[in-house]
Amino acid sequence: MARINRWPLVNTTTGRRLLRTMLLWVERAIPPDPSVDALLATHEPDVVLVTPLVELGSDQVDYITSARIMGIPTGLCVHSWDNLTNKGVIRIPPDRVYVWNDAQKREATTMHGVSAEQVV
């Protein structure tokens, strides 16, 4: 098995940004989960709030994806004080990110690329 940290591409800041962009593009190309679509269609929520979206392999991404396609506003309620720094990345951004304090607001904008206007 190839170790990704040995690839020259990921040993530079530019390479890591490029790899992240490519992986996000692939993730956004994945179609929505039909069972999540059905659940949202059945319950017709006014808003979809998720937590924790940043966990590796989180199925919360499916809810954000489906809700956004259906025009339902979405939000991430940050689960804990360290969720934005060491749990993973916001791969599919929600409409709003709800944080505990100004430090988390900075983390959401600088580490995850969420616009300051989206962070509450």
Output the average pLDDT for the chain. 88
What is the residue extent of each domain of the chain?
33-118
* C-alpha angle 43-88-14 in degrees, rounded to nearest 5: 125
Both tokens of 30, joined, read 């994945």
Are the CB atoms for 97 and 114 separated by under 8 Å?
Answer: yes
pLDDT class of 101 with cuts at 50, 70, 90 = very high
Q: How many Å apart are CA 86 and CA 57, to the nearest integer?
A: 14
Reported as type and span, the H/E element at residue 50 is: strand 48-50
Q: Which pTM does this prediction carry? A: 0.79
Paired with 77 in beta bridges are 98
pLDDT digits 0-9 by tens, 56-78: 778 899 999 999 999 999 999 99
CA distances from 42 to 35, 37, 45 (A): 10, 9, 9
In three-state form (DSSP H/G/I as H, E/B as E, the rest C), the secondary structure along 4-17 is: HHHCHHHHCHHHHH
Residue 52 φ then ψ, to 5°: -95, 120
